[in-house]
Amino acid sequence: MTTALNIRTPELCLPKKWQAALLRQCLSCVVALLLLATWMPQFAKAAEASNPTVPAVAGHVAFVNGQVAIAQPGKPNRSVQTGDPVYVGDHIQTLANSQLHLRMVDNAFLALRPSSQLLISAYQYDKDQPQASKIRIDLEQGTSRAVSGKGGQAAKNQYRFNTPLAAIGLRGTDYTVLADADKTRVSVAQGGVIVSPLGPDCLSSQLGPCASALSRELTAGTANAFIEITANQIPKILQKPGSATPAKTVGVPSISEDVVKPDALQQTIERKVVTDQVNKVDEATNVANQTVHQESLAKWGRWSALVQQYPQGSESINKVFSQIVNLQIVDSNEVFALAYSGKTNVTVPSQGQFQFAMVAAEAYVKDKDVLSRVGVKSGNLDIDFAQGIFNTQVAVAISPANLETVKSQGTVDRYGRMASTATLSNANISGVVLNKGLEATYLFDKTLSSGGLLSGVAQWAR
């Protein structure tokens, strides 16, 4: 016989006023928890920003070729590839025959040429408050090209590009700097800069242009000119060797061939093409010489600054790019630069696979400091917009008996940007698809078995 046990849990008896107080306390806890859940992302973001062990992202790698070393202070070097982030505090070094292109968080473009060293000292940018940006780049040695972005344009008084001898402030968008311990040379392709020697009244730790009696301003309107600063000398605005004399300016001397004798690598592409006619391939069937039957939204041209000591933009590309409002630089290689107007609405199809026909192309080979034009004979480009991939092939006649093939497969993102996949390509390719997927233009670089570098541009349409 079993007996059922009836166990009753005693009730908690509290005065009504205590029960009301307890209820209020519980409601307060619930509200606090809800507020905490809402504020936690902001707290985490603020903590990350204030934590010096978590550097802020300054930009991403758009293109890398050769050996490039990047490191934070006190940390080992790290290797990078296209798409990798770069951080505030990164020290970047390109070895010989290597280069790096960066797309910064404010859409600025920064290129570092071979045998160069650069430090990203500060890059603070908020798209909601671009006028509060704080940017400082320190080029320790080498050559760099900079196209300022939304942060630099909105906060010119807090933008600085330093060299060991000079401080460079913004008046415009596109400039190139060559620097070492003994000299700094600055030229402008678009807009303008203010260049000042570093000293007690112009510290490298400051932001914005320096206002001193030794400051010099240079704009793209002064053709074929550059500013030079050497140790213990007043900055000078000088002329390229062989260029026409600029408009009369008081106290501005010109430079002559007797002062500077550039070697083959320091010549402009235009002068090289003239002297290299003996190496010129028969271009009767060269695609680059065919008439383009449609106006492309993408603009490209030769960029002399990339292959010479004196930083400058060739007239061909300056003339084209000066007509583009709100310029968007896609990329550049050893010879060419590619851009399009920022007002262009970049949209690509979400479906469909299409074949494109080549409508224009141009290429050069750089071998032992000699630049020779070569013939682009034929090519094909297929883009699968549903998969976001492309496949292309270009035949280039290096000589009458040597036909080089550029092959590449890669990706096309939703912004129309084309990037080659290294494991599926024998060349580096970067470009853009415009006009709602009706046209594409890309740059290509390929290292030849002879040791030379093939650089070119190809424009396509469907």
Span 346-361, pLDDT tens digits: 889 999 999 999 988 8
Amino acid at 460: W
347 touches 436 (CB < 8 A): yes
Residues 6+ apart with CB under 8 A from 427: 406, 407, 408, 420, 444, 445, 446, 454
Q: pTM of whole model > 0.85?
A: no
Whether the pLDDT of residue 247 is over 70: the answer is no
pLDDT at position 259: 26
Q: How many CA atoms are closer than 13 Å to the CA of 402, on its beta-carbon side?
A: 9
Q: What is the pLDDT of residue 292?
A: 38
Bridge partners (DSSP) listed for residue 188: 175
Tokens for 259?
């002062």
Rounded CA-CA distance 65/70 in Å is: 14
> How far apart are alpha carbons 256 and 242 in whole angstroms?
8
Confidence bin at 29 (pLDDT 50/70/90): low
More confident call, 59 vs 221: 59
- The pLDDT value given to residue 53: 65
**Angle at the Cα of 252 from the Cα atoms of 249 and 254, rounded to 5 degrees:** 115
Q: Please report the pLDDT score of residue 82 as a whole number.
A: 84
pLDDT in tens, 235-245: 888 876 544 43
- What's the confidence (pLDDT) of residue 91? 95
Question: Quick check: 269 pLDDT over 60?
Answer: no
pLDDT at site 266: 27
Per-residue pLDDT, 17: 61
For residue 42, what pLDDT band results from cuts at 50, 70 and 90? low
CA distance 456 to 277: 18
Q: Which of 302, 311, 370 is nearest to 336 (CA)?
A: 302
Give dist(CA 210, CA 203) in Å, integer: 8
Domains recognised in the chain with CATH numbers: 57-258 (2.60.120.1440), 274-461 (2.40.160)
Q: Are 352 and 462 in contact (CB under 8 A)?
A: no
CA–CA separation, 387 vs 410, rounded Å? Answer: 11
Q: Among 29-38, 69-78, 190-199, 441-450, which stretch is predicted with the lowest mean pLDDT?
A: 29-38
* Side-chain-side CA neighbours of residue 337 (13 Å): 29
CB atoms within 10 A of CB 291: 6
Q: How far is residue 415's CA from residue 345's CA, in Å, rounded to a whole number? A: 10
Residue 222 has pLDDT above 80, yes or no: no
Q: Residues 399-421: pLDDT tens digits?
A: 888 899 999 999 998 889 998 88
Mean pLDDT of 381-406: 93
Instruction: Look at strands 159-162 and 134-147 and give their pairing.
Output: parallel
Q: Which residues contact 132 (CB under 8 A, 6 or more apart)?
A: 124, 126, 155, 158
CA end-to-end span of the chain: 94
pLDDT tens per residue across span 306-359: 333 333 334 455 555 556 666 677 877 777 888 887 677 788 999 999 999 998
Q: How many CB atoms lie within 10 A of CB 151?
A: 27
pLDDT at 239: 72
